[in-house]
Structure 1
Amino acid sequence: MDVLDLSRWQFGITTVYHFLFVPLTIGLSALVAGFQTAWYRTDNPAYLRMTRFWGRLFLINFAMGVVTGIVQEFQFGMNWSAYSRFVGDVFGAPLAMEGLMAFFLESTFLGLWIFGWDKLPRGLHLATIWLAAFGTTISAYFILAANSWMQHPVGYRLNPATGRAELTDIWAVLTNVTTLATFPHVIFGAFVTAGAFVIGVSAWQLARKREVDLFRASARAAMVVTLVAAVGVSLSGHWQAQIMTRQQPMKMAAAEALWEDESSAGFSLFAVGDVRNGRNHVNVQIPYGLSLLATSTPDGRVEGVNDIQARYQATYGPGDYRPIVGLAYWSFRLMIGFGGLAGLLALAGLWFTRRRRLPANPWFYRIAVIGIGLPFLANSLGWIFTEMGRQPWTVFGVMRTSAAVSPGSDVAEVAVTLAGFTLVYAVLAFIEVRLLLKFIRSGPEPAGRTDEPVDTLPALSY
């Protein structure tokens, strides 16, 4: 491997690892705020116990997300200095807004929430967790605005004297149509992630008959959130696919192993292809599915890899503008599959727990615990598809990845830091899992004498 390959591996590993914590933090912050709101409105101590139990798990995850996120941003100056120099004026603006506004907001009010339990009025204390949750959400927006600019650059001009991209319209960057489509998709995915986590942990407790009323209520609330969010992921994903087809047709063509332009194109379920010669040997399809996904019409025309490659060579010059087709194809399918399974798990859970019931067989509890990993896999595969499908571009149509790597880096330096980061992240993962398991096993705080069964509350007794 050369410096470029190692730098891409390092950035990919740290990015995917960091994004394991981000969606869980976003979704759990809102769920914890919801439980505390229920306590504030009803004064039932059971809701307080739910708030504090899930709040501990949220804080552990938040801390890990902060640590890994700092490393993530430093890489722009370490391995990708040529990229930072070229687009820093544009790319740095939303990242600076995220740090100065969103992260400051969430960290400040999260601190007030942690230390203000016995010091702030209940209403003001409730406001702190909602403001922290809002901060995590807008933090995601600014980061996605920066990433979306790489997918679809707007609001800038190239300065021929300096050879740099310069910001001309920050509003255009922040309201990029790619951002507007990506943001709801990511936020809905975060709620699926947090919902599946709460369902799985609650199922583990219910299988052991611990705090049955409390964890049944937690699970039911999370199942509703997960199911609604899964529908939102599907709808926002459809919108995002249409925008991707217009802006990056090569990515969509690779995701479907579609080699030639085609009208009334089918959605591929399974394909065996010949990338070298640009064709499929086997392709099992849903008729008209791709045209419906990409254009919302059954007879819509979708461009193929071979035709786009020829057009890009005419526009950008000689080169291979195809991503790794097999990776794009399978990451796209597995992303959809794992996300869909998480939604189906929530739907099944609502059925098995209806009318104050609990699943009679232990198999559901086991599946629910395993199901914690489904949205994490879907999120990771979604980002792999998004970033790898854009290749060979770092900034689509403007800067190739090969031109973005730091010119002063050598193989030994990147290899050492890659090994070091991987080792440190493995240690952090071990610590995270141990801490989560410790507090999950310890369960909620002991119930007080005034505690009431949660299922007596209309809001949670479905």
Structure 2
Amino acid sequence: MNTEILARVQFAFTVAFHYIYPPLSIGLGFILVIMEGMYLRTGQEAYKLMTKFWIKIFALIFGIGVATGIVMEFEFGTNWATYSKYVGDIFGSALAAEGIFAFALESGFLGVLLFGWNRVSPGVHYFSTIMVFIGSMFSAVWIVVANSWQQTPAGYHIVGEGVHARAEITDFWAMVFNPSSVERLSHVWIGALLAGAFFVLSVNAYYIIKKKHIEIAQKGFKIALIVAIAASYLQLFTGHKSADGVAKNQPAKLAALEGHFKASGPADMYLLGYVDKKNQETYGLKIPGGLSFLLYQNTSQHVTGLQSFPEKDRPSQLNAIFQFYHIMVAIGMLLIALSTWAAFQWYRGRLFDSKWLMLSFIWAGILPQIANQVGWFAAEMGRQPWVVYGLLRTSDAFSKSVHANQVLFSIILFGLVYLTLFVLFIYLLNKKIVHGPSLDKE
């Protein structure tokens, strides 16, 4: 493989591994706010024990997330020097804001959250819990803003020409509120809530099946289920708004996501299928005119297809983009169905009677993580061949002085380090889950 492909593989690997943790931090942070709020409201020891237990899990996730996130910023300088020069003014502002307004807030109050029990008042401790959650939300804001600017650039002008060209901010708020940032941020936030909620559901379902910590597990399960129900339905709305934005701002990406080739014509919506790039055909189970109706409420409305764009301006990995996108959608619908069925069982007073339902939630804990990952893959691969949409091609953005063997060596090295971190994370997570919420001091 050439240097460009290896550099892309390395960045995709490091980002994908890192992105296991921030959504869990955001989602779990929100649930911690609810749990501790319930403790302050009711005074019940069960809510205090579950809060202290999940704070330990949150700290572990936060620590691994920080360690794996730092690497990416170095990769900008080593493997993507041209890109870094081009977007430095934009990304520098967003990442500086993330460090000042988000990471400092989250990490500063994390100490009180972890060690403040019996050292500060309950009100101050709860305030710290809220601040940690808000800090995690702000982190997502600035990272998504920076990424969204790559998708839909705004509030900038280009200074210099050729290899010396770079984007400079002319309107900071136009850059922040670029055409896709709000829609994409809401989609990311809700995906994070789903990741946190189903993680808590999974662990508590395990306790319920094992008949351990029953009172705490059942109360925690109900809290997480309420979040899961609300978030799963909200994700339908945010996903639709995001698709509308892609149709308007990145029509080539939308055509790739849906396997739509015709230059102009009504577009079908595929439930599943296969994209034949060579013959420019998509085969599978479809709703005729479904995409046209979804976007314009008219099954006859024309939708721009891939044949409208020169081949050099189309995403290359069409079938992969199509499959990733449809996996994300399928998981989203499955989460809606599962959480809705559980809500119905709760209404009937039989929520914890079915072992199969609890087993389903144990395994469903991984589904939001898969959906978050494949959703990002589809979004980033669908932007290709542009690293900054319409302005800078990926093939022009990587470092020309870095050789393929150097990148390959670093991929192997990072792979070993990240494998070690993941094994350590799973070991410590399992240890804490097996121990469970209790009065015992660790």
Q: Deviation string for 1:131-189 (max 9, x for gaps)?
A: 11001101100110000000001111011364211111111111113011001111111
What secondary structure, in the 3-state scheme, does the structure 1 residue paired with 2:286 have?
strand
C-alpha distance in 2, partners of 1:407/1:159? Answer: 21
Provide the secondary structure at the position in 2 that maps to 1:177: coil
8 A Cα contact 1:257 1:329, kept in partner: yes
**Total equivalences in the alignment:** 438
| Partners of 1:294 and 1:158 in 2: CA distance | 33
Alignment of 1:109-148 (within 5 A): 109-148=109-148
Deviations 1:14-61 (A, max 9, x none): 111111111110000110111111111221111101101111111111
CA distance in 2, matches of 1:294, 1:267: 11
**SS state at 1:166 partner:** strand
1:124 and 1:361 map into 2 onto residues whose CA distance is 40
Q: Which whole-Å CA distance do the structure 2 matches of 1:278 and 1:35 have between them? A: 52
**Residue 233 of structure 1 pairs with residue 226 of structure 2:** no
Kept after mapping to 2: 8 A contact 1:181/1:239 = yes
**Separation in 1 of the partners of 2:427 and 2:336?**
28
Q: Retained in 2: the 8 A contact 1:249–1:308?
A: no
RMSD: 1.6
Secondary structure (helix, strand or coil) at the match of 1:269 reads: strand
| Separation of aligned partners in 2, 1:433 and 1:296 | 46
Corresponding residue number in structure 2 for 1:344 = 337
**Residues 445 and 359 of structure 1, relative CA distance in 2, 3 Å threshold:** closer
Please state how far the C-alpha of 1:263 moved relative to its aligned partner: 4.0
Q: Which amino acid aligns with 1:350?
A: A
Post-superposition shift, 1:268?
Answer: 1.3
User: What residue is the counterpart of 2:287 in the other structure?
Assistant: 286
Residue 415 of structure 1, CA deviation: 0.6
One of 260, 266, 269 as aligned partner of 1:267: 269
* Alpha carbons 1:18, 1:72 under 8 Å: kept: no
Instruction: Report if the CA contact (8 A) 2:56-2:114 is conserved.
Output: no
Residue matched to 1:171? 173
- Separation of aligned partners in 2, 1:113 and 1:167: 37
Query: Is the Cα contact below 8 Å between 1:220 and 1:350 reproduced in 2?
Result: no
1:225 maps to a residue whose letter is: V
Aligned counterparts of 1:429 and 1:372: Cα–Cα separation in 2: 17
Change (3 A) 1:86 1:276: same
Q: Give the equivalent residue in structure 2 for 1:224.
A: 226
Contact 2:275 2:322 (C-alpha < 8 Å) held by counterparts: no
Residues 68-118 of structure 1, C-alpha deviations (whole Å, 9 max, x = no match): 111122211111111001110112111110011111011101112212112
3-state SS of the aligned residue for 1:389? helix
CA contact (8 A) 1:242 1:295 kept: no
Residue 377 of structure 2 is matched in structure 1 by 384
Structure 1 residue 296, shift from structure 2 partner: 4.2
Partner Cα separation in structure 2 for residue 327 and residue 362 of structure 1: 36
Secondary structure of 1:154's match? coil
Counterpart secondary structure, 2:316? coil
- The match for 1:456 is none
One-letter code of the match for 1:114? L
Structure 1 stretches of 4+ with a deviation exceeding 4 A read none
Q: Normalising by structure 1, what TM-score? A: 0.91
**Could you tell me which residue of structure 2 aligns to residue 371 of structure 1?**
364
Tell me the secondary structure at the aligned position of residue 285 of structure 2. Answer: strand
Match status 1:249 vs 2:242? no
Task: Check if 1:64 corresponds to 2:85.
Answer: no
AA of the residue aligned to 2:116: G
Give the residue type in structure 2 aligned to 1:102.
A
Letter in 2 for 1:308: F
Q: Counterpart of 1:285 in 2: which secondary structure? A: strand
Query: Structure 2-normalised TM-score?
Result: 0.95
Q: Which residue of 1 aligns with 2:419?
A: 426
- C-alpha displacement of 1:292: 2.7
Q: CA deviation at 1:320?
A: 4.9
Alpha carbons 2:205, 2:221 under 8 Å: kept: yes
